[in-house]
Structure formats: C-alpha cells, structure tokens
Structure 1
Amino acid sequence: MFHNLVQGLRLAFFLPASSIRFRLSPGAFWFIAALGALISLLVGLYATEPPRIFQAEGVFSETFLLASILAGSFIASKIVGDPYSQYRTPTLFLNSIIAPYVIYSVFEQEITLTYYSDYPELFWWSYYALIAWTLAIAYRAVKLSSSGATPRHLLAALVLTILTFLPAHYLYFYDFWITDYTQTMAQKPEAPTLDAERILSRQGPLLQKQLDQMQASKPGEQDMFFIGYAGWGDQQVFANEVAFAKRLFNQQYTQSGRELILVNDVNNPEGSPLATATNLETALNHMETLIQPEEDILFLFITSHGGSDHSIATQLSNLPLNDIPAEKLGKILDASPFKWKVVVVSACYSGGVIPYMENEDTLIITAAKPDRTSFGCSDDAEFTYFGRAFLVESLTQNASFVAAFDQARDLVSRWEKRDGFTPSEPQIRVGEKILQQLVKWSEGRENTEIKCQTQCE
C-alpha cells in the first residue's frame, strides 16, 4: 500500500511512473479510499476553528465523491475503449490526488484566508490551479491505465475531472468539522449592566427628537425613506451595519433628512432610539405626516440574530426588551402609512418572515432560508457575511436592489463554501407592482441628478 502512495506522488508531481509499479487489487482501492477519508477528517480538523463539532454527515460527502470518481472512471474506460481501465484508474487517481488536496488546503488556510481582504482573487486562483492540477493527474492516470489515442485520453481525463468537481457546485458537501458557535456565544463575557430605568424613560423624547429632524417629501416627487434597525445590542457588528447603511443611503439613495436609525448598542446605549417594536411602530406612524403614501417608498433594513421561530432577536444587556415575532413584524408593516416597501432582514432563519409580508407592493430580501442560519455575526466582525455582501460589496456599486441581491447571493455562497459552512441561501421576493415603482423611482433619481448638474454649471 505504501508503494502505491509513492507511485501516486510521482504521478502527481510529473515524475516518471508506470502502471505496473502500482499494486492493484480491491484491497488497495479500499485502503486508499479509507486513507483519503481520514486525511479529509484531519485536514478539516486543522482548518476549523475551535470549539469544534464533529459531523458524521461528512462520511456521506466522502462516499458521494468516491462514487463520482468511480462513475468518471467507468465513463473514461468507455471513451478510451479499454474496459479494464475502469478498475485501474480509480486506484491510480486516488493515490495521486491526496498531495494536491493537502497542499491546496494548507495554502487556502495559511495564505488565501490570511490575505483574502487584500487579494480576494487568491481564492479563485488557487481553486482553478487545483482543478488544472487534477486534470493533469487525471490525464496521466488514464493514460497509464489504458491504451488508445491521446485525444481520447484527454477527453476521458476531462470527464473524470468534471465528475470530481462538479457535484460540489450543485450539492452541499458536509465537512467533518464545523465551529460550535453556540458554545462560542456561551463563552462570551457578559455585557455591562445598564441603567434600565434611565434608558427606557428617555426613549420617548429621544425618538421624537430624531423624528422632528426628518424632512417631509414633496408632492409629485417620489422619495425613499430609510429606517435601520439593529436589534442585538450586545455585539457591535449589527450597529456597524446600520451605521454603514445610513451613510450609504444618505449618499446614494435618499435626500438628507429621510433616514432614521433604531439601534441597540451596549457601547452607546443612549446614542440612538432603541431598536424595539414599539419604537418602530411609533416612527412609522409619525412618518404619515411626512410622506406621500401613494408615492414614497420605505426601505427598512433589519439586522440582528434570528430565532428558529423566525423572530427578530432584540437584546440590550439587562434591559427587558421583547423579540419581534415574524407575524407581528408583518402586522406593523401592514399598518404603516407606506404602500411601497423594500424590506431587508439580515438574520438567521430570516426567510421565515416572507409569508407575513409578501404582496405585490413589497420587495423582500432575507439573508437566509427559513431553516438556515446566516454567518459572520462574531464579536470581532465588522459586518456579517450578508451585510458585507449586500451593503458594502453590492449596493455601493449597483443602484438596483434586485441586481445587488443577485451579486450578494453569489458572494455569500462563495464565502460560505470557502469556510465550509452550510449554505444560508439568501431569499428574495419581488412584488410585481413594487418593481414598477422602483424603476420609476430610479428614473426620477437620474432626472434629478441631471437637473442638479445642469443648474450647477
């Protein structure tokens, strides 16, 4: 068995190799298959940050990969016209791809992830390099395993490589290990105790002050009003996202005086009105005096933790705050003076809010499916995965909310695959009428910008 590994290394590093030097038998095949699974387990242990949870489902991923390689070898044998190569190729191929896999995993962990913020293209460069290396190995393995013309060997190697990599792009492959984020949260130091009576008693005047500073819209001009809601105040990441979103909308999407933020922030508990259902209802009711209900658009951005019951977590140290159930959030929005609404909910299980607010007048975007968690809400994170993808990477470059979502969904998928997370699968529901209004609003913004530029010259 050790002899096969040595020959596999020679084949992988393009040294002279011969099929007769491989010792081929059913035992040799199952040995290298088991060794490959063990190496995957150890590499996953190395790449996953503690505390870790073992996932037995990783066995299914390894089994499916093995089945794909066997299927690829069978098809390759048909292409080259050598039926016996279907038994030789898998053993040669498996012994040869261990080294590239280990090298790629170490490079990804030590280089790609370390320098990802400066060189995000490293992720794809290294991945494409792995595919190219695997294709070269597949070609050598097929050529050593069978007779026939070189063009057939190339085609057979291409099929084997495609079947090795393609399933991972369409199916979720479980890793053997994931980080136990629930244990990480339990180990967090407790938030400082706040003066609950003082903070809660000041909510009315603080919220009213913010509302009084908002500007009314002009009849005949379609305007957008932004409300940011950062529900979980014991972690800074949610307040960061709302602050960034407010700046972004002020610069690109709304006129000054059309933004309001409700923020729970243990580091600045009295800096903004609290993110609570009561304050959200009060703010929306007040806006009835500022807006043209049939024209203006509400953009509500909610970021927080989310529960498996699809509620929006609302937390600020020791303050007695209530989570917002999905049904209640839907009722608050139904009762609001805005006919046209864009609602973005960045939280775990946030897809569960969709049934409570879905209609033809509303665009709904969520960070995850109803049964999936989202990622990136750690204490040291500046933004969540979805917040960074949607706000920072997409909305800053694209005025279309739908196009920005499409780009953000792709980015989140790449990052989750890179980090070995279960896909969150962000969701979108686009009402037919709100889409027409957003097109109209976008055209109005462009005309306003042109008019301003002409008058300023």
Structure 2
Amino acid sequence: MRSILPFALALLALPAASAQQQAYTPPQHTAPPPPGIARSTPEEVVQQADGGTQIERDRSATYALAEHRRLTRALGALLPQRKGVVDAYVLSVALDSDPVFGREAREAGKVLARRYDAVGRTITLGGSDGKAPSPLPMGSPANFEAALARIAELMDEKEDVLVLYATSHGAPFGVVYNDGNEGFGEISPRRLAALLRAHGIERRLLIVSACYSGVFVPVLSGPQTAMLSAAAADRSSFGCTAENDWTFFGDALINRALRKPQPLARAAEEAVAQIARWEGDARLKPSLPQRSIGDGVAVWLTPLEARMPKVATAPVGRPSIDSLTPP
C-alpha cells in the first residue's frame, strides 16, 4: 500500500478553502475623521470646503505610488480636442468609497461618453464597485483637480465643453470626500467655481448627485452653464446606501432619462418626475432636484445633441427604489 503521507502534507500546504472563497470587503467607514476635521467649527468646515481640503492618514508609500500611477495612466489616455468640432470632455467622479458611488460613477461615465460623443475623452475617478479593489484613481479632491487641469490643457475653451458628474454624500457646505478610514475632505460650490474660473471653463454641464447639492446651483449657474442637482440646498436625496447600484437621482437621470435620444431639458423633467413618484411611493420628504440652464447653453448643446445616438440603451443594475421595498 502506498503511503498517503506526501499527499496529506500537500493538502496541508494548500490555503484553506474558506480563505480562497472569502468575499472582497470594500473600505468601511468605521473610524472618526481626524481631529482637524472632527473638531472643526461650522465656520472652519466651510473654510476647509472652500479650500478643497484633503487629509490622508495611514497610507503606505506603496499605496501612494500605485495611486500616482493610476492617475498618470488615466490622464495620459485622454485624447486631444478636434478643431472645428464641439468636443465634450466627461469627468465622472465618486468622492466617497461606498460602492454605490463607485458603481454610479462608472456607469455615468459610460452613458455620458456615449451620449456626448466623448469616448476617449472621458475620465472616471472612484473607489471600488464592491467586487474588487478599484483599478481607478480615487475620487479625491487632489485627483479631481488634476483631472480638471488636464482636461483644461486639452480642450479649446471657446469651442469645447466640460461634462461633470459628481456623486457622493453631501452636506450644506458641499460634497464630501471620504475613502474608508484613510481619506477625508470636502469640495464646496465656491471651490468648484474658483477651479473652473481659473481654467477658463465656461461651457459646462455640471451634475451633482448628493444631499443638499442645490447649494451648487446659484454659485455655478451662468449663461453658458447647464446645472442639475439631486436635491434642494436644504433637502436630502435618497438611495445612497452602500449596497445600492444607484442613487435615486443617478438612476432616474443617468440610468434612464439620459440613455434616451431626447433633449437635456426634457430628460431632466423626466428624471424629476420619476424621483417624485418614487419618493411619493416611499412616503419620503421630497428632495426637490434643482436645475438651471443658461441662455447661451444652446450654442454648444445643440451640436452635441445633434450627434447623440438615435437608439436608447437599457437601464442596468437594480432599480434604486428596490432598496426601500421588502425583497
């Protein structure tokens, strides 16, 4: 009889099946923010948001190098603009590492790139989609600003358009950056306005999916700006639990209305009506999404929409309203 000892020893050398099959766990928000943020007064929080404050802690040098390489690859892949063509540059960013935002930013980048003929001129920043570590640069304030600066280098500000989609948790001072227990920060309407002004980007479609995101509308509105927000300045929006595929706003606007070959204003109206129905069915306090479309927007939006695909694509993912109903 053959000895089973070599076979038994080989089995012992193998990793346990449970370890092999262990599911990936996305970054968790389990620790309080650093004292510099946690102990700030409301006035100091506003100052931090206006400055685009970002605090990183417990990051290894290996992580920093990998993040640098991810960002460098993403920025280097952007195509230059085409002379005589109104080109859209899409920047889709998830500022929080909860997977709902990572999933939403990824699909928003795809939908907006297809709609506005921006394949090759689209960059997506965000954390994990919930299945594996993210190969994308994180949606931090610093990465966001670097991406914006690179887009500004490539585009012709007199001809081309920035299409920005930002999704995260929000607050009365703006949108929040939070990558697990390691990354913290804020971006306020005044900060975003200052960045766009510094780069001379006046032609822009700005979409912010976050609670209280209506605070961006009065500050960013202008003749050449189309601005859409998920909620009024004093209201919450819904659907941002980490397990969701979409927020209410992202599902209604990106996943449904903007997939169709219809004008932006009509798509916004459709999305607002859909959100109102969902909120009514769930007996939620209305979020009151806001929109502002400047008088000069048609100059760049008309040629972009003339190139829209003529066939709609189907929504993907689990509908956001399902998260509020029993299985």
For 2:303 and 2:249, how far apart are their aligned partners in 1?
A: 27
Q: Partner of 1:394 in structure 2? A: 257
Greater share of strand: 2
1:347 counterpart residue number: 210
2:185 and 2:68 mapped to 1: Cα distance?
A: 17
Report how many aligned residue pairs link the two structures.
Answer: 256
2: distance between equivalents of 1:364 and 1:320?
28
Partner of residue 4, structure 2: none
Q: Determine whether 1:190 maps to 2:53.
A: no
> Scaled by the length of structure 2, what TM-score is found?
0.73
Task: Output the CA distance in 1 between the equivalents of 2:90 and 2:129.
Answer: 23
Pair 1:223–1:277, CA change in 2 (3 A): same
Q: Give, in whole Å, the separation in 2 of the partners of 1:189 and 1:204.
A: 23
Q: Give, as a single letter, the amino acid of the residue that structure 2 aligns with 1:225.
A: Y
Matched, 1:290 2:154: yes
Separation in structure 2 between the aligned mates of residue 298 and residue 426 of structure 1, nearest angstrom: 21
> 2-side partners of 1:378 and 1:289: how far apart?
36
What residue number does 1:404 align with? 267
Q: Report the CA distance between 1:216 and its aligned residue.
A: 0.8
Correspondence list, 1:124-273, <5 A? 190=30, 196-197=59-60, 198-233=62-97, 235-265=98-128, 267=130, 268-273=132-137
Whether the 8 Å contact between 2:116 and 2:304 is mirrored in structure 1 is no
Match of 2:220 among 357, 368, 377: 357
Assess, with a 3 A threshold, how the Cα gap between structure 1 residues 336 and 400 changes in structure 2: closer, same or farther. farther
2:170 to 306, 324, 328: 306
Q: Render the CA deviation track for 1:21-51: whole Å, top value 9, x for unaligned.
A: xxxxxxxxxxxxxxxxxxxxxxxxxxxxxxx
- 1 CA distance for matches of 2:124 and 2:182? 19
Deviation of 1:243 after TM superposition, in Å, equals: 1.0
Correspondent of 2:142 among 273, 278, 282: 278
Q: Distance in 2 between matches of 1:429 and 1:421?
A: 24
Would you say the 8 A contact 2:279–2:286 is kept in 1? yes
Q: Does the CA-based 8 Å contact 2:86-2:159 persist in structure 1?
A: yes
Q: Which has the higher helix share?
A: 1
Letter in 2 for 1:280: F
8 Å Cα contact 2:92-2:108 kept in structure 1: yes
1:327 aligns with 2:225: no
Q: Give the letter for the 1:295 counterpart.
A: E
1:185-206 CA distance string (max 9 Å, x none): xxx8739xx9622333433332
> 1:398 Cα deviation (Å)?
3.5
Map residues 114-125 of structure 1 onto 2, 5 A cutoff: none
- Using the size of structure 1 for normalisation, the TM-score is 0.53
Give the 3-state SS of the residue equivalent to 1:433 in structure 2: coil
The match for 2:178 among 300, 315, 340 is: 315
Map Cα deviations across residues 213-244 of structure 1 (whole Å, 9 max, x no partner). Answer: 111111001111110010110x2111111111
Q: Are the structure 2 counterparts of residues 221 and 429 from structure 1 closer, same or farther at C-alpha, using a change threshold of 3 Å?
A: same
Q: How far has the Cα of 1:269 moved from its partner? A: 4.8
Report if aligned partners of 1:225, 1:254 keep a CA contact under 8 Å in 2.
Answer: no
- Structure 1 counterpart of 2:191, which letter? K
Query: Which residue of the partner structure matches residue 429 of structure 1?
Result: 292
* Alignment partner, residue 41 of structure 2: none
Compute the RMSD of aligned alpha carbons: 2.2
- Any unmatched runs of 5+ in structure 1? 1-187, 450-457
**Structure with larger RCO (C-alpha < 8 A, sep 6+):** 2
1-side partners of 2:192 and 2:140: how far apart? Answer: 11
Task: Return the index of the structure with the highest Cα Rg.
Answer: 1
- CA-to-aligned-CA distance 1:125-158 (integer Å, 9 cap, x gap): xxxxxxxxxxxxxxxxxxxxxxxxxxxxxxxxxx
